[in-house]
């Protein structure tokens, strides 16, 4: 800015404690010094958007740099900040390491965290810039309250509140979850009553059905057992079927026997029939033998007949051949002669005729032979037929006898079986007959179906009873579950109640914390302190005209004036709005000093000492301009005496009253070059 290079105080010197005035004429470069220090600590944000280039005055320079050496929390540091023409920034903090006697960089440092003060707070308390001194006096109650809460880090209370809020939300969530599970106990009781009613109805039904069941069982007991019934039924069935078979075989036998010369009596002894069959068989064998012989003879006769017929045919052929082939052409001694086709001998006609005659006789002879053989054959055929008929008759007789024998055996077999069953039935009846009311087959069938019917009914009844009992059991268990449910619900309701109490307590706690902050902490305690401390300064600064600052900070943003001050001329409390400019400046400085002073001494909460700013110096830019000489002098004197801050830098262009002796930074400007200069000057009088 206006400075090309500045080193204050000289070399490695340190500024003394107490009041240090920064004095010089308008525009000489006083505020620039304060801004430089502010820039070192808080960076370009203090210039509110001005770009780097406009601060880097001299064209050859690429950067603006500042080093501020300070003591903070009893430790020595220096902060270094560089701002490049392009806007790049380097900030570094170095801490003095006593034993090594060097400065060592504090890595990853952050100004606000390091000083435990925000730039906003710093502007309100430590660095008071030009024209801002009256600001506090003009603030409204609610704004001041918020500023104080912020300054004194009372937002720890916000943390407490948000913690309580979370707690209460958590409890509400738990409570709502439980409420979702909740079933009104009355409803469960209604369910139990309904089920109990149903159960008593069910029990009644069960008793009735059990009585019925006993009846049915008695009825079944009174009837003969199923085994006996089926035994008797079986016997009757066997008797009937055996009897039927017996009768049908007997009938068949009778019909068949009628066709023979036999009587039933012949069958009483089997031997008769067996013997008969034996005789028949023997006859049959004999007859077969005879017939076989006849058959053989007949075969031989048929062969003879064939031979005889063959010979006749041969002769006829020879005659035929001769007639056709012999040619009587050769004449010898007047006789016709031919050549024998077989032997090539000469054959005469006579001889030939003689031969033909002989052949013809032979045919006749053989034809007669055929006749007689044919007669023999006919007689053979008759005999054979006769024999065959006899054989067939015997065969049939054998078959009939054998069939009859089998039929008789069967008929006898079924008869004996029938007797056996009749005997069994008799013994069964003598043993169990009394148990049956009606012994007829129909009676038994009826009994069987009646018993079946009763059994089916009994079974149905038993099933229905079992079902009902199972249902009763299940319902009984359900009642047990419902009773458990009631216990659970009671427990649940208790828990919900507990949560409600908790939530109520938390809400009360929140309310209390809130009231504690606004009423007790700020309004009563802090404000009272601020008012008291301000009071100390105000009377002095206003030459006794004003005193008794009343701060009422409990109102809202909209409520009217809350800073009042007592006018000692008329004894009235007046609103700060009616104060003169100078009064307001005086009140502003008084409030600044009071708040800054309290910042380092008061403990708003137990945690506060650690967290409050540890900065115990003040930088005030031109707070005295609006004040007359008397007030200026009073304030300066007060500041010189003040033990609340270790150092106070006060910028002013006004003339310093001659009896004020303080350390000074004299700011000057070379009119020809426009470059500001400054030097540190000790007072001529020892303070």
Ligand X SMILES: Nc1ncnc2c1ncn2[C@@H]1O[C@H](COP(=O)(O)OP(=O)(O)OP(=O)(O)O)[C@@H](O)[C@H]1O
Choice between 497 and 674, CB closer to ligand X = 674
Residue that the structure tokens 């009768």 belong to? 247
Spatial distance between the Cα atoms of 539 and 587, rounded to a whole number of angstroms? 9
Other CB atoms within 10 A of residue 591 CB: 27
Q: Which does 26 bind (CB under 5 to 8 A by kind): ligand X, Mg ion, none?
A: ligand X
Residue 366 in the binding site for Mg ion (CB under 5 A) = no
Member of 20, 24, 28, 31 binding Mg ion (CB under 5 A): 31
Spatial distance between the Cα atoms of 545 and 1, rounded to a whole number of angstroms? 42
Answer yes or no: are the C-beta atoms of 452 and 168 closer than 8 Å. no
In the complex, the smallest distance separating the C-beta of residue 658 from ligand X, rounded to whole angstroms, is 21
Q: Is 294 exposed, middle or buried (0-12, 13-18, 19+ CB in 10 A)?
A: buried
Choice between 124 and 652, CB closer to ligand X = 652
Stretch that binds Mg ion, among 91-99, 128-136, 393-401, 526-534 (CB under 5 A): 128-136
Q: Which does 57 bind (CB under 5 to 8 A by kind): ligand X, Mg ion, none?
A: ligand X
In the complex, the smallest distance separating the C-beta of residue 54 from ligand X, rounded to whole angstroms, is 6
Binding site for ligand X (CB under 6 A): 1-2, 24, 26-32, 54-55, 57, 130, 653, 667, 674
What is the CA 225 to chain-centroid distance, rounded?
Answer: 60
The residue at minimum Cβ distance from Mg ion is 31
Choice between 381 and 654, CB closer to ligand X = 654
Choice between 64 and 287, CB closer to ligand X = 64
Buried b (16+ CB within 10 A) or exposed e, 639-669: beebebbebbbbbbbeebeeebbbbbbebeb
In the complex, the smallest distance separating the C-beta of residue 603 from ligand X, rounded to whole angstroms, is 37
In the complex, the smallest distance separating the C-beta of residue 8 from ligand X, rounded to whole angstroms, is 14
The half-sphere exposure of 298 on its side-chain side, counting CA atoms within 13 A, is 15
Residue 676 in the binding site for Mg ion (CB under 5 A) = no
In the complex, the smallest distance separating the C-beta of residue 16 from Mg ion, rounded to whole angstroms, is 23
Choice between 123 and 393, CB closer to Mg ion = 123
Residue 125 in the binding site for Mg ion (CB under 5 A) = no
Choice between 56 and 472, CB closer to ligand X = 56
In the complex, the smallest distance separating the C-beta of residue 555 from Mg ion, rounded to whole angstroms, is 36
Phi and psi dihedrals of 126, rounded to 5? -90, -50
In the complex, the smallest distance separating the C-beta of residue 677 from Mg ion, rounded to whole angstroms, is 16
Q: Which does 29 bind (CB under 5 to 8 A by kind): ligand X, Mg ion, none?
A: ligand X
Choice between 612 and 676, CB closer to ligand X = 676
Spatial distance between the Cα atoms of 391 and 399, rounded to a whole number of angstroms? 12
Please report, for residues 215, 222, 238, 422, 592, the alpha-carbon distance to residue 436 in angstroms, rounded to integers and kept in the order given: 20, 10, 19, 18, 128
Other CB atoms within 10 A of residue 120 CB: 13
In the complex, the smallest distance separating the C-beta of residue 32 from Mg ion, rounded to whole angstroms, is 8
Phi and psi dihedrals of 69, rounded to 5? -95, 135
Choice between 130 and 547, CB closer to ligand X = 130
Q: Which two tokens stand for residue 587?
A: 């009140």
Stretch that binds Mg ion, among 129-137, 229-237, 326-334, 395-403 (CB under 5 A): 129-137
Q: Which does 430 bind (CB under 5 to 8 A by kind): ligand X, Mg ion, none?
A: none
Closest CA relative to residue 497, chosen from 171, 106, 46, 152: 171
**Can you give the three-state secondary structure of 29-96, one letter per residue?**
CHHHHHHHHHHHHHHHHHHCCCCHHHCCCCCCCCEEEEEEEEEECCEEEEEEEEEECCCCEEEEEEEE
Q: Which does 28 bind (CB under 5 to 8 A by kind): ligand X, Mg ion, none?
A: ligand X
In the complex, the smallest distance separating the C-beta of residue 589 from ligand X, rounded to whole angstroms, is 17
Choice between 130 and 554, CB closer to ligand X = 130
Phi and psi dihedrals of 508, rounded to 5? -65, -40
For Mg ion, the binding residues (CB under 5 A) are 30-31, 130
């Amino acid at each position: 800015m206006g400075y090309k290079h500045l080193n204050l105080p000289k070399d490695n010197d340190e500024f003394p404690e107490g009041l240090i005035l920064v004095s010089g004429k308008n525009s000489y470069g006083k505020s620039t010094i304060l801004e430089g220090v502010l820039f070192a600590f808080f960076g370009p944000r203090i210039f509110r958007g001005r770009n780097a280039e406009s601060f880097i005055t001299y064209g050859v320079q690429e950067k603006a740099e500042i080093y501020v050496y300070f003591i903070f929390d009893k430790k020595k540091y220096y902060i270094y900040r560089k701002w490049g023409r392009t806007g790049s920034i380097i900030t570094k903090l170095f801490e003095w390491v006593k034993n090594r006697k060097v400065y060592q960089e504090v890595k990853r440092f952050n100004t606000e965290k390091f000083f435990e003060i925000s730039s906003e707070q710093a502007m309100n308390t430590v660095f008071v810039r030009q024209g801002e001194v009256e600001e506090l006096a003009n603030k409204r109650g609610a704004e001041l309250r918020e500023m104080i809460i912020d300054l004194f880090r009372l937002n720890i209370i916000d943390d407490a509140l948000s913690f309580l809020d979370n707690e209460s939300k958590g409890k509400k969530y738990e409570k709502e979850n439980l409420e979702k599970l909740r079933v009104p106990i009355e409803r469960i009781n209604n369910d139990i009553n309904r089920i109990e009613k149903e159960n008593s109805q069910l029990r009644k039904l069960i008793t009735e059905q059990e009585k019925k069941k006993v009846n049915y069982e008695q009825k079944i007991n009174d009837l003969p057992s199923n085994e006996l019934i089926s035994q008797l039924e079986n016997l009757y069935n066997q008797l009937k079927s055996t009897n039927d078979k017996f009768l049908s075989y007997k009938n068949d036998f009778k019909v068949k026997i009628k066709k023979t010369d036999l009587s039933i009596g012949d069958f009483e002894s089997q031997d008769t029939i067996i013997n008969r069959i034996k005789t028949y068989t023997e006859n049959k064998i004999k007859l077969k033998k005879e017939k076989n012989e006849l058959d053989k003879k007949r075969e031989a006769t048929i062969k003879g007949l064939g031979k005889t017929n063959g010979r006749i045919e041969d002769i006829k052929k020879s005659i035929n051949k001769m007639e056709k082939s012999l040619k009587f052409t050769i004449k010898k001694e007047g006789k016709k002669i031919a050549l024998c086709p077989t032997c090539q001998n000469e054959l005469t006609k006579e001889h030939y005729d003689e031969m033909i005659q002989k052949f013809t006789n032979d045919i006749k002879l053989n034809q007669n032979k055929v006749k007689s053989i044919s007669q023999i054959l006919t007689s053979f055929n008759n005999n054979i037929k006769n024999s065959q008929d006899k054989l067939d008759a015997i065969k049939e007789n054998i078959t009939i006898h054998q069939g009859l024998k089998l039929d008789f055996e069967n008929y006898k077999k079924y008869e004996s079986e029938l007797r056996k069953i009749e005997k069994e039935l008799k013994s069964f009846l003598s043993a169990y007959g009394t148990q049956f009311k009606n012994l007829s087959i129909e009676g038994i069938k009826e009994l069987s179906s009646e018993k079946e019917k009763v059994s089916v009914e009994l079974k149905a009844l038993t099933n229905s009873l079992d079902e009902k009992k199972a249902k009763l059991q299940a319902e009984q268990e359900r009642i047990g579950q419902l009773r458990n449910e009631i216990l659970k619900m009671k427990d649940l309701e208790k828990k919900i109640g507990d949560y409600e109490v908790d939530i109520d307590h938390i809400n009360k706690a929140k309310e209390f914390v809130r009231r504690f902050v606004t009423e007790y902490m700020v309004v009563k305690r802090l404000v009272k302190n601020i008012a008291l401390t301000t009071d100390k300064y105000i009377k002095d600064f206003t030459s006794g005209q004003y005193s008794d600052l009343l701060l009422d900070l409990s109102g809202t943003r909209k409520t009217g004036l809350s800073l009042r001050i007592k006018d000692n001329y008329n004894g009235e409390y007046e609103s700060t709005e009616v104060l003169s400019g100078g009064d307001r400046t005086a009140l502003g400085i008084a409030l600044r000093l009071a708040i800054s002073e309290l910042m380092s001494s008061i403990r708003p909460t137990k945690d506060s000492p650690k967290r409050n700013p540890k900065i115990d110096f003040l930088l005030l830019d031109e707070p005295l301009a609006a004040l007359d000489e008397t007030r200026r002098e009073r304030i300066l004197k007060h500041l010189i005496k003040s033990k609340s801050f270790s150092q106070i830098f006060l910028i002013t262009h006004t003339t310093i009253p001659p009896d004020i002796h303080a350390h000074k930074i004299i700011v000057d400007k070379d009119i020809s070059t426009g470059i500001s200069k400054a030097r540190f000057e000790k007072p001529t009088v020892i303070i």
